[in-house]
């Protein structure tokens, strides 16, 4: 049982939908004060309303994680609202599917900026706040795609998610001097607005390839993030956890038929 998160100030980016909203809900249910960030104000306000209706403490900040000034404003707003920052969940991301032949340089830059540069910007912006608090936690949302698996149409996405892990290993070393741990959750296929946008065929095909025989829920990722953010995980840094229902395990198509 993790008991250490109540009262902590937590930033979750990409929190208006999907996994980010799930992370925010899980942390708020454990008594954390959560700052939800995304670009779209309407979805953000709706997510904050859901958390407050369930008895949680939440605020919203419109933020584009690719923009340095916007990210700095997010951290300042969190310190103003909650008196500091204890946990950063850098989760915002996009996953438009396009094969290399159709992929433009602009498509590449958009995905790398949203998924990878944003991790650098968010971590950098939080360092002074973590210093003021004497410690902190960073939890990145990476993916199995890139670090472990490949899928046609996601070279840019896979590069961004594998890049996050390269970033985190050195960031974990650099931020140790501030008492900050840096870890990452690698989700498999989690039911979110973004994933549903990939279509019925994609969802069915993915569910069939998962040993636990279901797509993941956003809370599955929230609970893993909660572990990394807890006092109990204070000696864990630079690490990753795969949360995918066993999706990366089968060695062949036939292996699934043997289950």
Structure tokens at 234: 């204070």
Chain position carrying tokens 């607005």: 193
Q: Is 202 a catalytic residue?
A: no
Distances in whole angstroms, Cα of residue 129 to Cα of each of 116, 141, 257: 21, 21, 51
Size of the site for ligand NAP (CB under 6 A): 32
Options 157, 178, 202, 235, the catalytic residue: 157
Q: CB under 6 A: which stretch of 3-11, 39-47, 51-59, 175-183 binds ligand NAP?
A: 39-47
Interface with ligand NAP (CB under 6 A), residue from 95, 130, 154, 167:
95
Closest by CA position to 33, among listed 91, 79, 2, 93: 79
Binding to ligand NAP (CB under 6 A): which residues in 147-206?
A: 187, 189-190, 192-195
For the CB of residue 257, give the shortest distance to ligand NAP in the complex, in Å.
24
Chain position carrying tokens 């198509």: 253
Residues with Cβ within 8 Å of residue 67, at least 6 apart in sequence: 121
**Closer residue to ligand NAP (CB): 127 or 218:** 218
**Closer residue to ligand NAP (CB): 66 or 78:** 66
**Closer residue to ligand NAP (CB): 9 or 15:** 15
Residues with Cβ within 8 Å of residue 236, at least 6 apart in sequence: 181, 183, 228
Interface with ligand NAP (CB under 6 A), residue from 57, 61, 91, 240:
91
**Counting contacts by CB under 6 A, is residue 228 touching ligand NAP?**
no
Residues with Cβ within 8 Å of residue 138, at least 6 apart in sequence: 87, 88, 90, 123, 126, 168, 171, 175, 180, 181, 182, 183
Binding to ligand NAP (CB under 6 A): which residues in 109-138?
A: 114-115
Q: In whole angstroms, how large is the CA radius of gyration of the chain?
A: 18
**Counting contacts by CB under 6 A, is residue 64 touching ligand NAP?**
yes
**Interaction site with ligand NAP (CB under 6 A):** 13-20, 38-40, 43, 63-66, 91-95, 114-115, 141, 143, 187, 189-190, 192-195
Catalytic residues: 157
């Amino acid at each position: 049982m993790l008991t250490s998160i109540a009262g902590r100030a937590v930033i979750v980016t990409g929190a208006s939908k999907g996994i980010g909203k799930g992370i925010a809900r899980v942390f708020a249910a454990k008594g954390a004060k959560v700052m939800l960030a995304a670009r779209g104000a309407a979805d953000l306000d709706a997510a904050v309303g859901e958390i407050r209706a369930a008895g949680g403490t939440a605020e919203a900040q419109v933020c584009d994680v690719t923009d340095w000034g916007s990210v700095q404003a997010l951290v300042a707003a969190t310190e103003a609202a909650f008196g500091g920052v204890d946990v950063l969940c850098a989760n915002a991301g996009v996953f438009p599917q396009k094969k290399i032949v159709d992929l433009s340089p602009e498509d590449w830059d958009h995905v790398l900026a949203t998924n990878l540069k944003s991790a650098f910007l968010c971590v950098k912006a939080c360092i002074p706040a973590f210093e003021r608090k004497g410690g902190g936690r960073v939890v990145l949302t990476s993916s199995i795609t890139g670090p472990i698996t490949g899928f046609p149409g996601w070279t840019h996405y896979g590069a961004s998610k594998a890049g996050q892990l390269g970033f985190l290993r050195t960031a974990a070393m650099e931020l140790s001097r501030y008492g900050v741990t840096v870890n990452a959750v690698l989700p498999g296929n989690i039911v979110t607005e973004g994933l549903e946008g990939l279509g019925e065929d994609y969802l069915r095909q993915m569910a069939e390839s998962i040993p636990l025989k279901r797509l993941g829920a956003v809370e599955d990722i929230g609970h893993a993030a909660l572990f990394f953010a807890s006092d109990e995980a204070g000696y864990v840094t630079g690490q990753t956890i795969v949360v995918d229902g066993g999706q990366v395990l089968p060695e062949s198509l036939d292996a699934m038929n043997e289950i």
